[in-house]
Structure 1
Amino acid sequence: MIFDFDWSSLKTRLVVTLLMSTLIPLLLLGAISYLALQNVFQQKIENGIQNTLSQTRVNLENTLSNMEYASLQLSQEGTVGQALSELFSSRRIFEQLQLTTEIQQNMNLVNFTNPYLGVMLYYFSDKKEFRFQNREIRNDFAIESLPLLSKTKGASFFGPHPTGYKYSQNTVFSMIRPIEVSGVKPQSVYVYLETNLLLFEQIISKKQYGMAASHVLLNQNGKVAYSDDPDRFPPESDFASLKTVGDYLFKESSDQGWSIVVAIQKNDFEQEFRAWLLKYGSISLASVALSIALALLVWRTMYRPIRKIMKEIRLISGNKFNSQLNLTHIREFDTVLHEFDRMRSSIRELFAEIEQKERMKARLEVEKLLHQINPHFIHNTLNTIQWIARMNGQDEIDRLVSIFTRVLHYNLGKEGAIVTLNEELAALKDYVALQRIRYDYQFDVRYDIDASLLDQPIPRFILQPLVENALYHGLGDETGVIEVNIATLNGSMNIQVKDNGAGMAEEEVSRLLSHGSEARQAGLGIGLNYVLRMIDVHYGDCGSFQIDSQIGQGTAMTLRLPMAALTK
């Protein structure tokens, strides 16, 4: 699956964010455009159609009015009409011929001065006869069958209908007007006029609306006089009864009694709007697809560096700290990788340090074991000596052996490397008691201990080497005092073992602190070297050991151990 919706995924959030950043502007722009275009379509286009239809009505009105004006020139009020009256009242053949020629010439002149006119003639209804026509009339042409458009000011307007011209089938408008001719029965002579053959197409044209439109011309009775879509709007049908649910209708009524209607199907009317919606939808889909593509591209751009970072993490989890760093050549990710590499270097150094300390601890344990004899043999032997001393009443020997047994038990015990300060002091006091018997009580040890520190954990067997060093290197064979002071100083346990012996030179101090074979091992064979390494193993740089000594003024050994760095 290309995309699995998981909101906890960075990929999902990235795609959704880019989609929202694309869709929200598109939706807002689409809504605004929709409302604006709807306003344009509903008002601007409708107004345009209505104005165009109004202009069509005006043109048609002017055409019919011009026809009416031209008909007046052919009636008894005009020159041609007066000549026609004279023709019918004249009895002289020469005068009749002369008048006939004059009428024909005047009609041609009227037609020439009115180019919008087509067929012109006089119609005698009694005889169904056409006279003085300017064009040849077809035989089946009958004025009585023409579709009436309206009647106004004594004139009747017809059409649209096929022309009476014999050699054409073009659609025209026409009119008739009765004229009074002396010597002729009233209402039997009419002037008949038609529009030009091309005029109708110029007035009623579908192209002027910019979309498919149907013209319907209604007569003064509201019936369809003409329709260029007779299947939907049959001629002679009542327009009000027709079903026009799927059409937009625009109507203009004339003062001459007729009306013109433009019917535009809603599908055609909304075609441009749908075309805009289709284009907008296509652009929106393209934008969404582009956003998804960009999101995936950004994801791929981010995913590869993330994979490299994950690879580096897996290498660390596999204890591989020496792999070469592969950069992504993207500044932000490379910064993370550099920081990660520094962290890896620090971890590698810490591991190396821990390994070194563990090796040191192992060596210390080995050294400790090398200086130990079989503890069971020692304990059994001492118990035998103690039993013989008691049997013989040697209380001093019994006490000495008892103290020595406790010292051995503590020093050779397996209870662990960490003890409390109280346990370490008890073992130290046993050791001091043993040494005092040995040296015939020539020295004294004084203790100044902060009671709140008795339960603090410290490394095992760390005080005895200090006191032992004070005996062997401080007092020697002389009498003196050793002070053991333990107190809290700046969050650390401050241990000081001080003697009032002869003191040491700096060279002697350096020799005692050295790790070589020159360091003197006394008692059980564990000296200051052991103390230094125990501090390094358990405290690192947080612990410290210092020897201050001057010739003739004694020696002070100070041990500072952080209390928060060690747990029992």
Structure 2
Amino acid sequence: MNAPIPKLRRARSLKNKLILILLLSAFIPLALLGWVSYLSIEEITSKKIESGLFNSLNQGSYNLNSTLNNMDYASLQLTNEGNVGQKLTDYLTTESIYQQMELSQDIQQNLNLVNFTNPNLGVMFYYFPKNKEVKFENLVVDRNFSFDKLPRLAAGKAVTFYGPHETLYRYGKKKIVFSLVRPVYLTGEDQVYLYVEANNKLFEQIMDKQQYGMKASNVLINDQGSIVYSDFPEKYQVGQPFATAGTGGTFKEKQGDYYIFGQPNEQGWTLMVVIAKQDFEKEFHKWLVKYILIGSGSLFVSLLSAYALWRTVYRPLKKVGHDIQLLASSKFDSPVSYTNIKEFDIVMQKSYQMRTRIQDLIGDIELRETNKRQLEVEKLLYQINPHFIHNTLNTIQWLARMKGQTEIDQFVSVFTRILHYNLGKKGEIVPLRDELAAIHDYIALQRVRYDCEFQVVTDIDEGLLDTDVPRFILQPIVENALYHGLSDENGKITLDIHKVSDHYLIIEVIDNGEGMTAEEIAKVMLEEKNPLRDSGLGIGLDYVKRVIQAHYGDDCLFSIDSRIGQGTTVTLKIPF
């Protein structure tokens, strides 16, 4: 008994192991180098960018502070503490129209002189809230203004700073400026306010939207902690309160996907710059992309090396495995395939020698088995023929008593042909038409014996008459149907021969007898231990079964289908 083939354990292939080893040998050094580089580059870029942003922010905060101080200083010249303020008091208190005209021209000239000597200043004028009147403006002022609507930035000594907001210059709409309002206290009930604007170009210089090569958003918080300006309204809206973590100095915060850099001022306002995280980390990302490209190139080289090793080791092993698979599939005629590697070619040569030796051994075994089956078939044939001759001689004896010599002569003639066919061509292949001629003689012989008490119907494809079949396979089946499968009345045997596709010949012998049970069919199909042989049932069928197996091996079929009271069908399926 052959030992069972052990199952293969789950294991990785050599190719996968080679790829894994080479990838690890390239990836581990790259990963360690990358981690150290990552920490170093991140620290360097962060410090460099932060330093640059804080320097730029300090410069912007300084410019804004200087602008506010410059406006404050210039406004002092136009108050009671200056010459212009005293003239304004005289202008408001004198009753002489002529003197008012002279003072008005003098005030206007001095105000224009202050504006000329301070080019960073813009609109300047005095506002009289009692009459809602604007006087001595250096530029045309839009009268639809209100100091209460201006965004407060910070409050100083007797002065309030506003901005950023649109200029009050009538023809300078959408120009953003900073301004101050200073009350000018005069004698009597009149109260006058001085309004001074900074040049709109200062705002563009302070609120720079490009910081250290990055897109920046500017946010300005007043001394009351509210946003008075933002060019990033989607996240920071004007009027929204904003609390910072700064404690008097510059600060840096991270809010979501943005970094905030702030510079508080001693006047109470805070200038902030908002940088998107992706822009802030863009330089680091550039380094990361370069590192990824270098790492990918290294891994690609490792894969190429793995492929080279695969071609050197794995493919020859695959050829050896293919040669062994051919051996397992009994394909012994395939030529030997060398790998051009000495060690593997020696294995291939030994495998080819083993394959040739196995093929010779299988040929010897097949020859011995064929001779053994042939002897068994001939032995069965010698067992069947005496039984047939005995029955025939009994019939001749019975016919000699009942009939005349003419019928005996005809009977003996048919019997002679059958005897010659059965015993004259032992173990040979014959055309189907010869097998059918012999079965017709046998049926004619049996008709004489049974006095036409049964009928035989044939349905045969004429195109199959020249097909080669083993000799003496129909008569045993028909004989069993005749002796054991006919009903008492109207006995009928049907012989049907046809083909299935272009590969198989189907022979069916059908009777209308009493049928057989499943147990009886099983006993008949057994090659050994068949108790029905003593009664004659199964001897001929066993012969047919052995003959077709000897000629066709496993590529044939012998089956019996029977139903009690309906009859039996014996089917042969043999290849062309």
- Give the TM-score normalised by structure 1: 0.49
- Give the TM-score normalised by structure 2: 0.48
